[in-house]
Amino acid sequence: MPKRASYNVALTGLFVAIGLILPWFTSHAFAIPGTLLLPMHIPVLLCGLLCGPVCGALAGIATPALSCFFTQMPSLYPMLPIMAVQLTAMGFVGGFLRKKLRAPLYVALLAAAVCGWVMYGLGFASLMLASGGTLKILSVTGALTQGLPGMAVQLTLIPALVAAVERYRRAGSAEAPSPELISEARRLIKSGEVSCVVIREGAIIHTADGRGVKPLLELYNNEPEKLKDSCVVDKIIGKAAAMILILGGSASVFGEVMSVSARDYLTKRGIRHNFGRCVDVITARDKTGICPIEKSVLTVDDPKEGIVNITQTVNRLMRRVI
């Protein structure tokens, strides 16, 4: 099994275990009903956002089923089927938006919560029809009202936990490439054969040649999976290149030339980095001032906002050349 898949399976098992313990603990230790804090939602949402849609859906099914078997929470009927479809939807949608569509964290979290409550409503309506209108559980409105404190906890706690785990994963999950591989990548760049080398799992998996950030931008747009957990060795690393690499999920960066702003930005984001030479700024090719692409992100901190500026500037410069 690939290392990433093994990691996700292990993490999914951990979240399912937390989903069994957390509701039992809050109920027995503090006498807080599950309908108030929604403790089972938290590990399932975390699993989807961190491990992807399949793992999120599995956690959504397994957590309430195992909890029902071991702790009788939720009840076998009618709550288990309703919670199973709700949590499965939450885990799947959150994982699909975050991992497959690369949606912003809050967008994925809110969409997952909304879809989960929609499925709660559909499950409630289905069982209500099947029982002839005699179902004795909280209505959708009642469940939403009671669960407001739990939803507030989710919106506060989950983004912070996901961001922390993703930072740790980027910083520590990928092994640093050997000095020999870094030396080979630098040799290729110094020879003029390429301007960018991508290393992952002990091998060079991609090389490209081109000016400025264009090779990295094309790689991020067309084959972003190559950047995930990689070490990128590039001729010039400015702040714009650093933003692209952070969005791509690179674990480490080496720049033959690296700007101070890129160095500080990578340090702030917890990305391992090194350089051959550090300069104050990346200058334009005509030596008239700062590089226009660097200028476009000079006051930008969010890499998603930065890549929009980078793309627009690159397109404008290309039109000017044509």
Q: In degrees, to the nearest 5, what angle opens at C-alpha 81 toward C-alphas 76 and 86? A: 135
Q: Is the dihedral of CA 158, 164, 170, 173 positive or negative?
A: negative
Alpha-carbon Rg for the chain, nearest whole angstrom, is 24
231-237: strand order across its sheet: 203-208, 196-200, 231-237, 252-259, 272-279
Question: Do 164 and 183 belong to one domain?
Answer: no
* Whole-number Å distance between alpha carbons of 231 and 218: 17
Q: Is the dihedral of CA 162, 95, 32, 143 positive or negative?
A: positive
Show pLDDT as tens, one digit a residue, over the chain (322 residues). Answer: 455 678 889 999 999 999 999 998 887 667 788 889 999 999 999 999 999 999 999 999 999 999 999 988 888 988 999 999 999 999 999 999 998 888 889 999 999 999 999 999 999 889 888 887 677 677 778 888 998 999 999 999 999 999 888 777 655 555 678 889 999 999 999 999 899 999 987 889 999 999 889 999 999 999 998 998 899 999 999 999 999 999 999 989 999 999 999 999 999 988 999 999 999 999 988 878 899 999 999 999 999 999 999 999 999 988 765 5
Q: By residue range, what is the domain housing residue 17? A: 3-172
CATH code (residue 224): 3.40.140.30
Question: Do 190 and 273 belong to one domain?
Answer: yes
End-to-end CA separation in angstroms for the chain: 48
Provide the whole-model pTM: 0.61
Q: Is the dihedral of CA 29, 80, 89, 99 positive or negative?
A: positive
Question: Do 123 and 150 belong to one domain?
Answer: yes
CATH code (residue 33): 1.10.1760.20
Q: Which of 148, 172, 196 is the last residue of a domain?
A: 172
Give me the number of domains the chain comprises.
Answer: 2
